[in-house]
Amino acid sequence: MQFVKETIIHATPEKVFAFHELPDAFEKLLPPWENAKIIQKADISKVGSQAIIETKIFGLIPTRWVAEHTKYEPPKMFEDVQISGPFKNWRHQHLILPHESGAILHDEIEFEPPMWFLGKIAAPFAILPKLEKMFAYRHEITRKWCEEE
């Protein structure tokens, strides 16, 4: 399955990328309604660095999510993949593309839901709306920082 979110940000691609390199970027991007705890932060500039997050599936089932940074190409993109966690697989590309008004922040996630065919049936109702809400928040936080700083 795939999820894509794009937002035009009135700032240079370099500035948008720089936001993601901030030491506290992940904390800024974590929505307040998410019941998640950062155990270990990843340095996006170091391929192989890992983030570890404890969260709850459906707010009930505790799980540990380990994501490893696999690509780093400033100021264009970085990528992380799930090593272990709630999905069968997960690859997240963060792309920052030039635009006449500044930059396009493009998040593209390829994933396979858990629970075999039940996960695929539930994804349009349970997973995709949650991703949409989360990435709307993340893009707004990024946009505000880049346009107001």
Total length of the chain: 149
pLDDT at 7 over 70: yes
The CATH number given to whatever domain includes residue 19 is: 3.30.530.20
pLDDT digits (tens, 9 = 90+) for 101-130: 999 999 999 999 876 676 677 777 888 899
Q: Would 88 be classed as within a structural domain? A: yes
Alpha carbons 56 and 42: distance in angstroms, whole number:
20
Count of the separate structural domains present in the chain: 1
Q: Would 137 be classed as within a structural domain? A: yes
Q: Would 46 be classed as within a structural domain? A: no
- Read off the tokens for 3: 């999820």
What's the pTM value of the predicted model, to 2 decimals? 0.92
pLDDT at 16 over 90: yes
pLDDT digits (tens, 9 = 90+) for 26-52: 999 999 988 899 999 999 999 999 999
The answer to whether 50 touches 64, Cβ cutoff 8 Å, is no
Q: What are the E-state strand segments in the chain?
A: 2-9, 37-40, 50-57, 61-73, 77-84, 89-99, 102-112
Alpha carbons 84 and 145: distance in angstroms, whole number:
31
pLDDT at 149 over 80: no
Position 110 scores a pLDDT of 97
What is the residue range of 12's domain? 2-32+73-148
Using alpha carbons, select from 29, 21, 28, 25 the residue that is nearest to residue 46: 21
Position 25 scores a pLDDT of 95
Alpha carbons 69 and 8: distance in angstroms, whole number:
24
Q: Would 57 be classed as within a structural domain? A: no
pLDDT digits (tens, 9 = 90+) for 57-94: 766 778 899 999 999 999 999 999 999 998 899 999 99
Q: Would 68 be classed as within a structural domain? A: no
The answer to whether 93 touches 73, Cβ cutoff 8 Å, is no
